[in-house]
Amino acid sequence: MAEIIERLEMNHITKRFPGVLALDDVTMNLQKGEVLALLGENGAGKTTLMNILYGLYHQDEGNVLLNDKKIQVQGPLDALEYGIGMVHQHFMLVPNMTVLENIALGMYQRTRFKMDLEKVRQRVLEVADRYNLTVKPDAYIWQLSVGEQQRVELVKVLTLGANLLILDEPTAALTPQQTDALIDLLRQMITQDTSIIFISHKLNEVKAVSDRVAVLRNGGLVFEGPTEDHTAEDLAEKMAGREISYPKTSKKEEYGRPILQIEKVVAEGDQGTDSLQGVSVEVRSGEIVGIAGVSGNGQRELADVINGIRPVKEGRIQLDGVDISNRTPQQIIDLGMGYIPEDRMHEGTIPSFTVRENLIMKDYRREPLAKNFFLRKGQIDTHAASLIDAFKVKTPSMATSCASLSGGNIQKVILAREITRKPKALVAAYPIRGLDIGASEYVHSQLIQAREEGMAVLLISEELDELLDLCDRIAVMYEGRVLDVLPREECTKQELGLLMAGVSHGKE
């Protein structure tokens, strides 16, 4: 077991990539028993800095001191020797192995030929007990919820002997409740000779969990100090380097005609049970209606049935007066539906296709992009160039594959494609999930723009701030039902939170 990390210092770290100064003279330190939040927009250098600490990259200049001794970490295994462990944003677990087997997987490299699962079990239970992390050693990973899998990752790293944990956006896949639980857990863990570096751009979490905060911007350290002395807004500005104003909508006196009418829709989920049990929602022209709720309560199914990807079992969906229930996705698109799907890498775009190709996915057969079965390169290029420009997509060229863009830019590609088609209705599922502040702000401003242009927008989200900023009315979904559709003025966070947890509010 590695010695306890009393103090870690990173001094004057500079790292250059061809054409990019990724880190510029960054100095940072960490004491035993504290949570340091590392804040920054995507591309600010957070991950590069942590990869240096973890041995995946070597710094060009500067040094790392561990308990006042200079160290040069050679790689992940070496990092663990020093007691540094990392939990990645995307879990590194084998789904069809048990928890115990997954943890043992990280140990085999030291013992080579012999694996004593009982010994592993003992270690795991010891660690779980010490840090109060409950895990089921014999459960298969695929049986566990995302929150439980996260705990397994934590136990894994701790069992392997880490006492400094680097958590890379640990809450990206968690529900609000799971996030709260994680924060409690982390606060508890630091009382056990552990220290934590918490990478995130969600300010609420950073406020709740960290003792100190360091902000990176464009590779440089722009701020470092105690968390409690600064407000979330303050930190957001430091991160973005400018004033951040979350765009908000204001109440309208009049709305247009009903565009998207969902009437008592019943539909099956993937497990064969009814995931939608008679959902009714109406969205009018020029209105944003929010669907709040903890994900997994039927939101995915709702978005799917509206877009023709999942059959409607009972009930009816109308788009501007036309019945679209059980039509094909193509027909529904042709009738004027836009969709920003939840999974932007697999549903929203084709990662291996170029930006240009992704931008024509819904109109590739239509003039002027095509004529008589032939794609018109000139038109397609003009189309791509104008959208890239209008939506400020950051890409080396229109011939770059979408897979190499950042999440925010991929979302911009999808937004550009969907909004410029001028659909009558737009379904946006978790449109800012995983995006940084700047990108979220942009997505929101575009949704508001769509509202101004008279689109009927259905916004599915679990971020209450997002819903309260944008929506004219908010419906809460719980176990396949819509509990209440409330005008925004009548909603409070607490009330929505209760409804999301399935507690019907006291209407007397």
Which residues in this chain contact another protein in the complex, by CB under 8 A? 17-18, 20, 22, 42-48, 307, 309, 328-330, 332-334, 339, 341, 343, 346-353, 357, 360-362, 364-365, 370, 373-375, 377, 396-397, 399-400, 404, 406-407
Q: How far is the CB of 284 from another protein (least distance, A)?
A: 25
CA nearest neighbour of 154 among 176, 177, 183: 183
> Distance (Å, rounded) from C-alpha 10 to C-alpha 27?
5
d(CA 140, CA 91): 14
Residue with Cβ nearer another protein (125 or 361): 361
Nearest to 232 by CA among 206, 209, 194, 258: 206
Q: What is the dihedral of CA 409, 410, 412, 417, to 10 degrees?
A: 150
Smallest distance from another protein to CB 40, Å: 10
Counting beta carbons within 10 angstroms of the beta carbon of residue 54, is it exposed (0 to 12), middle (13 to 18) or buried (19 or more)? Answer: buried
User: For residues 330 and 386, which CB has a smaller minimum distance to another protein in the complex?
Assistant: 330
Q: Which helix (H) or strand (E) holds 333?
A: helix 329-334
Separation of alpha carbons 86 and 166, rounded Å: 5
- Closest approach, Cβ 397 to another protein, in A, equals 5
Spatial distance between the Cα atoms of 106 and 160, rounded to a whole number of angstroms: 7
Q: Could you tell me the smallest distance in angstroms from the CB atom of residue 330 to another protein?
A: 4
CB of 116 to another protein, least distance (A): 34
Name the residue nearer to another protein (CB basis): 33 or 329. Answer: 329
Rounded to whole angstroms, what are the CA distances from 219 to 32, 44, 224? 26, 5, 14
Shortest reach from residue 496's CB to another protein, in Å? 29
Q: Which is nearer to another protein, 314 or 347 (CB)?
A: 347
Q: Residue 315 carries which DSSP code? A: E
Minimum distance from CB of 328 to another protein (Å)? Answer: 7
Query: What's the min distance (Å) between Cβ of 270 and another protein?
Result: 14
Between 252 and 377, whose beta carbon lies closer to another protein?
Answer: 377
Task: Please confirm whether the linkage preceding 351 is cis (ω < 30° from 0).
Answer: no
Nearest-angstrom CA–CA distance, 32 and 195: 5
Question: How many angstroms separate the CA atoms of 232 and 263, rounded?
Answer: 41
Output 144 or 443, the one with its CB closest to another protein. Answer: 443
Q: What CA–CA distances, in Å, run from 415 to 41, 168, 351, 428, 490? A: 20, 27, 16, 9, 30
Nearer to another protein (CB atom), residue 113 or residue 373 = 373
Q: Which two tokens stand for residue 173?
A: 């896949």
Complex with another protein: residue 16 or 136, whichever CB lies closer: 16
Q: Phi and psi (nearest 5°) for 291? A: -110, 105
Comparison of 403 and 501: residue with beta carbon closer to another protein: 403
Least Cα distance to 440 among 201, 204, 215 occurs for 201
Alpha-carbon 324 to chain mean position: 31
Find out whether 303 and 339 touch, Cβ atoms under 8 Å.
yes
At closest approach, how far in Å is the CB of 45 from another protein? Answer: 6
Shortest Cβ 349–another protein spacing (Å): 6
Whole-angstrom distance, CA of residue 65 vs CA of residue 180: 33
The Cα 234–Cα 5 span in angstroms is 31
Alpha-carbon separation of residue 179 from 41, 69, 72 (angstroms): 20, 35, 33
Residue 304 CB, nearest approach to another protein (Å): 9
52 vs 128 by CB, closer to another protein: 52
Distance CA 199, CA 154 (A): 15
Judged by beta carbon, residue 168 or residue 211, the one nearer another protein is 168
Contacts of residue 436, Cβ cutoff 8 Å, sequence gap at least 6:
41, 42, 201, 408
Q: Which is nearer to another protein, 4 or 222 (CB)?
A: 222
Q: How far is the CB of 41 from another protein (least distance, A)?
A: 9
Those residues whose C-beta lies under 8 Å from the C-beta of residue 72, and which sit 6 or more positions away, are 58, 64
